Amino acid sequence: MFTPSFRVLLSIVVPVFACLLVSCVSLEFDRMTGTTFPPAQTVNGQAVTLGTVFNDAGISLDVEEDDTAIQPLNIAQDECISDAELSTLENGHRHLSLFPASACPFAFCNTYHLYGAVVDHYGEVLDVCVPEFILGKMWQGHTRSAFAVFYRANTIRTDGAAYFRTTAHEIGHAFNLHHSDGDGTSIMTQSDDLTGDPVYRFSEQSRDHLANHPGQCKFPGAVAAAPFTWVINDHAAWAHPQEELTITDCQ
């Protein structure tokens, strides 16, 4: 029988040990005033959150809803926030370091840091402002360390399910997953390419990547380091008609 003091110790040690075994990703999630965070969804009576979506795929994702009062930029309502402006916003509000001081020296127990922001603006496409065209983007392609969701888009403001799925999709890009890693209904499938009702799960191909591929080509942030589109040969061997990938050993 556990003594009370042992129970307390166990309640601390077990979650920490479990986190070390699976490599934890901490997401600092900010938003501008006048926006909301993506709402949890209910499937078959069960609550689905960003954490449960990634946990189901073997990734421990800790979502911290942080700053909720970032002021929108002083730009016209139908203009877009640029990648440079997103980076300035990140630099001014991000608290989690690109280089986690707590990261342990072993590949199986790193803690990785990711930054996300809900902005009350439209987003650019290849440096061109096309209002309502995109719902979100991972704009830090070299480190895969930050993403944004564009709350000004009507779909994000009015459709909680699409908002939730868009956020999970952009986080998926930060884990070096690509549109062609979807299977027609899963999270990485673009909305325009859906062949059935969208679901809050990753395809088997995506799950294989998240479970089995090297950390450098999988985890977001400066500790992981490999740029977006750098993948191992097994990943590149899957059909990727929409992307140009670079093969690397990711070691």
Query: How does DSSP classify residue 241?
Result: T
Residue pair 160/42 in contact by the 8 Å Cβ criterion: no
In a domain, 42, yes or no: yes
Among 46, 102, 55, which residue's Cα sits nearest to residue 223?
Answer: 102
Pairing assessment for the beta strands 60-65 and 136-137 based on DSSP bridges? unpaired
Residue owning tokens 């166990």: 10
Using one digit for the tens of pLDDT, what is the confidence trace for 30-48? 999 999 999 999 999 999 9
What residue spans of 94-203 are helical by DSSP H? 154-158, 160-174
Q: At residue 3, does pLDDT exceed 50?
A: no
pTM of the model: 0.88
pLDDT at position 8 over 70 = no
How much is the mean pLDDT over the chain? 88
For 57-88, the pLDDT digits (tens) are 999 999 999 999 999 999 999 999 999 999 99
Strand 46-48 and strand 41-43: pairing?
Answer: antiparallel
The CATH number that applies at residue 157 is: 3.40.390.10
On the question of pLDDT at 90 being above 80, the answer is yes
Q: Is residue 180 part of a domain?
A: yes
In eight-state DSSP terms, residue 145 is -
Enumerate residues 6+ apart whose C-beta is below 8 A from 97.
113
Q: What are phi and psi of 116, to 5 degrees?
A: -135, 150
| pLDDT 10s digits, 155-190 | 999 999 999 999 999 999 999 999 999 999 999 999
Closest CA to 247 of 227, 232, 229, 228: 232
Indicate the SS3 state at residue 147: strand
Listed in sequence order, the residues at least 6 apart from 91 whose beta carbon sits closer than 8 Å to its beta carbon are: none
Answer whether residue 9 shows pLDDT above 50. no
> Is residue 2 pLDDT above 60, yes or no?
no
Query: Per-residue pLDDT for 202 more than 50?
Result: yes
Number of domains in the chain: 1
DSSP 8-state secondary structure symbol assigned to residue 215 = G
User: Closest Cα to residue 148, out of 198, 88, 77?
Assistant: 88
Residue 4 has pLDDT above 70, yes or no: no
Q: Which residue has the higher pLDDT, 229 or 3?
A: 229
| Residue 1 pLDDT > 50 | no
Please report the pLDDT score of residue 101 as a whole number.
Answer: 60
pLDDT digits (tens, 9 = 90+) for 93-111: 999 988 876 545 554 456 7
On whether residue 57 sits in a domain, the answer given is: yes
Q: What is the mean pLDDT of residues 108-137?
A: 91
- DSSP conformational letter for 181: G
% of the chain with per-residue pLDDT over 70: 86
Q: Which tokens go with 171?
A: 């986080």
Residues 6+ positions from 148 with CB-CB distance below 8 Å: 81, 86, 116, 117, 118, 119, 123, 136, 137, 139, 170
Residue 248 has pLDDT above 50, yes or no: yes
- Would 2 be classed as within a structural domain? no
Where in the sequence is the domain holding 203, given as residue range(s)?
Answer: 21-247
**Which of 232, 214, 206, 195 lies closest to 54 in space, CA to CA?**
206
In a domain, 44, yes or no: yes
Tell whether 4 is covered by a domain.
Answer: no
Whether the per-residue pLDDT at 23 is higher than 70: the answer is no
Q: What is the pLDDT of residue 104?
A: 52
